[in-house]
Amino acid sequence: MPGAPKEWRRLTPCDIGCPYVTTFDPGRMELLLQNKNAVIYGASGEIGSAVARAFAQAGARVFLASRTQATIEALAQEITQAGGVAEAAQVDALDEAAVEQHFNAVVISAGHVDISFNAISIGYLQGDPLTELSVEQFTHPIADVMKTQFLTTRAAARQMSKQGAGVILAITATPARLALANSGNFGVACAAIEGLCRQLAVDFGSAGVRVVCLRSAGSPDGPKLDRFMGELAKLQGITREEFEARLAEQTLLKRLPKLREVANAAVLMASDSASAFTGTVANVTCGQIVD
């Protein structure tokens, strides 16, 4: 690049694509989350585990929380064997006492918590008009997701406010912003999560706490979404591949984001390189939504 600093001209494509570089000088690469402590709820799920691996690879010490003990311990072992630092705990993120007890234990063990991310799975209902849902079917998943998000973000905000720094992350999907037919209570819940993130950002920004919500278009390389796409495709009388192709066609990049890409975005937003980001949504939709 003519006129660019010397260190810019020495960049390779690998350097540009790596989410863990904090300087343009390839001779001084650093891990973006080095010396950071991260609590990840729902870490045994597809998104939670992808983010956990990415956080650990970026230098963070990860505290993995999930209701499934065996799965979470296997993930912690995998991360440790790969050279990362991980601890696993069985935690019901819908239980107030369990969330508080675990979070306080992490603070005692690590001294501080720099990142909190809640990606627990909720049983939303999609595929039918809202008129086909009962009051319980519509409200219960929304109540559950808001309860767990409130419990985990409240614990994080309290501690991070004392520290004077910290990052709270959440994740939603395209229906939070884009009106899609028959998305059931999923889009409503996603919009509510984003609203909570905005409120947290304004309430605790002056204390140095950043809040960012990732918004994905769905990652077809995740087995759970893969199965769901197959079910929706069957309802429409098309193949699973045709269904994904239709979704991809709606994006600017003509594809859907991979789990690793969502995880990379989480690493960046959680890092000091994104220190000016708060009260916002990180658009990881491959251009399905244009801001």
- Dump pLDDT digits (tens) for 127-167: 778 888 899 988 999 999 999 999 999 999 999 999 999 99
- Give the predicted TM-score (pTM) of the model: 0.86
The overall average pLDDT reported for the chain is: 88
Position 76 pLDDT exceeds 80: yes
For 56-105, give the secondary structure using H, E and C.
HHCCCEEEEEECCHHHHHHHHHHHHHCCCEEEEEECCCCCHHHHHHHHHH
Q: pLDDT per residue over 245-260, tens digit each?
A: 998 999 999 999 999 9
Q: Are 211 and 161 a contacting pair, CB within 8 Å? A: no
Q: Are 267 and 32 a contacting pair, CB within 8 Å? A: yes
Eight-state DSSP code of residue 39 = E
Three-state SS for 133?
A: coil
Distance CA 143, CA 219 (A): 25
> pLDDT class for 17, splitting at 50, 70, 90?
very low
Domains and CATH numbers, the chain: 33-217+258-284 (3.40.50.720), 220-256 (no CATH)
Nearest to 193, CA basis, from 229, 141, 228:
141
Position 122 pLDDT exceeds 90: no
